[in-house]
A and B are shown apart, each in its own frame.
Chain A
Amino acid sequence: MEKNNVHIDRNEVVIHVDNVSKSFGSLHVLRDVDVKLFKGENLVVLGRSGTGKSVLIKLISGLLTPDKGHVRVLGETVNELDERALRTLRQRIGFSFQNSALYDSMTVRENLEFPLVRNKRNLSRAEINKEVEEVLEGVGLSQAINQMPSELSGGQRKRIGIARTLILRPDIMLYDEPTAGLDPITCLDINTLINEVQERFNTSSIIITHDLACAKMVGDRMVMLLDGKFERQGTFKEIFDTDDARVKSFYDYNFIV
């Protein structure tokens, strides 16, 4: 499963989480976390449940603000932007939620149109329809266009969620546990989709997961969150070639149990 058309530019940093700490009350979730995402790469963030992986990408998209440090995305400091500037920046960041977060009172078409018509106001009806159909076809779900989210399977919902973010042609994609709760075959499909997105649109992505098969398949580089810090970075091999019991147990759980 080699990737072909991937162009990673290690001189261009698209996201820099710069010494960021975040606590909720007395719970210190992230401590002086520092990580960079390079142009065109898929960065996998590994870590056990509750270690702050979702908090990390919520900081990147400005849903949460850091207690300390800076989050720089595409040259802007997220935590210093005003509302309008933040909204503009967000159009360039796609966010795929763990549970897809489809708007359940709207059809698939309306879900996809929602960000499009509100961010690109001068599009004609025909252009909107074309965009929606194109993006749906890209995730292989053209037939679902008039269905309600409740009628879709978990894997389909995930695809629609990804399609809804792709419709704004983002430069960055943030995937929160894209394969969680899916069967192995569907996982494979989603992983393939993530790689396709990377190749086709040259997006830079952060993929959060604790599924090592997913990590191996989509990740160009990995970091592992342990006790609020990224203590290990590198390729799959580099990360797991260690005596650290916390890392070993993570590996064992995925491949032995």
Chain B
Amino acid sequence: MGSKIEKLLIEFARIHRFMMSFLREAVSPPYEFKEIIRQCYEIGWKSFPLISLTGFIVGFVFTKQSRPSLEDFGATSMLPALISIAIVRALAPLVTALIASGKVGSQIGAELSSMNVTEQIDAMEVSGTNPTKFLVSTRIVATTLMIPILCFYVAGIGLIGGYLSIVGKDDLSMLAFFTQVFETIAAKDVFAMVIRAVVFGFTIGFASSYVGYFSTKGTEGVGKAANSAVVSSMFLVFVEELLIVQLLALLN
């Protein structure tokens, strides 16, 4: 029992140190711009197909499922408003973050832990260069930048999915649909979406890098790291979502 608590405390201390060294390396020159751009490409562009499909399906299915309950009240005209609120306030950031946890989180976890296993991280360290700066800071910066961008994209494609699921049923032009959507979404909703996406992006980058960087040596360490990068990213995203919802409710 005592040793478990001790282990936990040591773990927290290590996370704290990792966070501090990220912050220090991220803001101090020289910057690894080229590597940040490469990571943005790896993280953002390569998640694009999967994100597109998922975003579309979520918008489509959610709208389809919501329509009957509004129909009961004869309120199908409210559908665009409902969808836009649901997508911007909750679905887009959450879907983006969960997909990215799976796709990007596992990638970062596996990459860093295999570099750790094959002593590439040690090799950077002993050549007088700084592996935290090159490997970790760049990835965290990239996820923090790319998840919000992907999130906007998911919101857009989700709304298109929503529109396409009702276009046959309600006699609603695309223009009318999107006019109603934009009338409903307030600036503060978009702001809240961006905050969420930034928090989630940072979390995914940080948790996955941490897990990969400190993975146990050995081949099975790579699989374990990829796995726990995904699990811890997703878990943290849900916890943060809960906290953010409470916080926003308080602010309103």
Contacts and interface: CB of A to CB of B under 8 A. Distances in A.
Contacts, number: 61
B220 interface: no
A104 B123 CA distance: 12
A200 interface: no
B212 to A, nearest CB: 14
B130 interface: yes
B128 to A, nearest CB: 4
B127 A164 contact: yes
B125 A63 contact: yes
Contact of B127 (A58, A62, A90, A98): A90
A91 B128 contact: yes
B127 A114 contact: yes
Interface stretch (B48-56, B114-122, B168-176, B223-231): B114-122
Interface in A111-151: 114-115, 118-119, 121
Nearest to B38: A105
B126 interface: yes
Q: Chain B: interface residue count, which band? A: 10 to 19
A102 B120 contact: yes
A150 to B, nearest CB: 12
B128 A121 contact: no
A63 B131 CA distance: 13
Interface of A: 58, 61-63, 87-88, 90-91, 93, 95, 97-99, 101-105, 114-115, 118-119, 121, 164-165, 168
6 contacts: A63-B122, A88-B128, A90-B128, A97-B119, A118-B130, A121-B30
Given A103-B115, A114-B124, 12 more contacts: A87-B129, A90-B125, A95-B123, A99-B118, A101-B122, A102-B120, A104-B115, A114-B129, A118-B128, A119-B127, A119-B129, A168-B128
